[in-house]
Copies of this chain bind each other. A is one copy, B any other.
Amino acid sequence: MAGTDSSKEFAFRPTPAIILVEPQLGENIGAAARAMANFGLWDLRLVNPRDGWPNEKATASAAKALPVIERVQVFETLTEAMADLNLVLATTARNREMFKPVIGPDEAADRLSAHIGGGQKAGILFGRERWGLNNDEVALADAIVTLPVEPAFASLNIAQAVLVLAYEWRRAALKDQPLPFSADEGEPAPRGQLAAMTEQLGEALDRAGFFKTPAKRPGMMNNIRAMFARGGFNAQEVRTLRGIVAALDRRHERPNPSRHKGEDEAE
């Protein structure tokens, strides 16, 4: 699929575990696995999944996220699922009236990154499709994570919540690293090249009668120079602009370009 580099192996770095508590639909498990793979997470744990495991629908909807599906662990209770972790965050959209800190996904990612970066283990809890996590389960966590959703439409499905947390994790974990690709913009052209181009343009405009009022020419040329200077054009672009000006300027010498097929012409 667009963008995927098949030559690259999945890099199994230390990452937070994603724990789904009593997930009902296989499609949601598969979608969660895909969201995890997109951002480099691989440790998926299921607590008492409704349809057991393995789950055909989960595998099917996981698509190419096989590295995640192959490593799924299944537990009967949440306590067992989080036994080896010493930082656990619970995702929920509802106020729990509980003495539990509430943080956003960005702060959650910072905390997870620091904790795991220090060699420890962490996890994030996600609840059931219909009613999320119950209070007993939230009580086990160190903090609540809630997404800054629109109050009138606050419900995210499990895979979407996993996606946002996974994205934030990766952003925090890679903070100082470059994006998958960056632009080769080229440096802005030396000012001398730009000045030569605008002067060439000015002369062409003179020949075209553009400056209706000679007294206004200096001011108008200054605006034109400022406009092109602010454009930040690189050397190649300045050459293109010179070619454009030259082509339009010289056109009057070639009233019917189609008669001159085969004739060389600068681009």
Contacts and interface: CB of A to CB of B under 8 A. Distances in A.
Interface of A: 1-6, 8-11, 34-35, 37-40, 64-65, 67, 92-95, 97-106, 127, 130-132, 144, 146-156, 160, 163-164, 167, 170-171, 174, 179-186, 201, 204-205, 207-210, 212, 220, 223-224, 227-228, 230-234, 237, 240-241, 243-245, 247-252, 254-255, 257, 260, 265, 267
A38 B167 contact: no
B230 A3 contact: no
A237 B4 CA distance: 41
Contact of A153 (B2, B4, B102): B4
Given A94-B3, A210-B267, A212-B267, A101 B183 contact: yes
Contact of A151 (B5, B153, B247): B5
Given A207-B251, A233-B227, A183 B4 contact: no
A39 B150 contact: yes
Contacts of A93: 2-4, 180
30 contacts: A2-B155, A3-B93, A3-B149, A4-B152, A4-B153, A4-B155, A10-B152, A38-B149, A38-B150, A38-B154, A40-B149, A40-B150, A67-B152, A99-B237, A106-B171, A146-B181, A148-B170, A160-B163, A207-B257, A208-B250, A208-B251, A208-B254, A210-B247, A220-B240, A224-B240, A227-B233, A230-B232, A231-B231, A249-B251, A252-B252
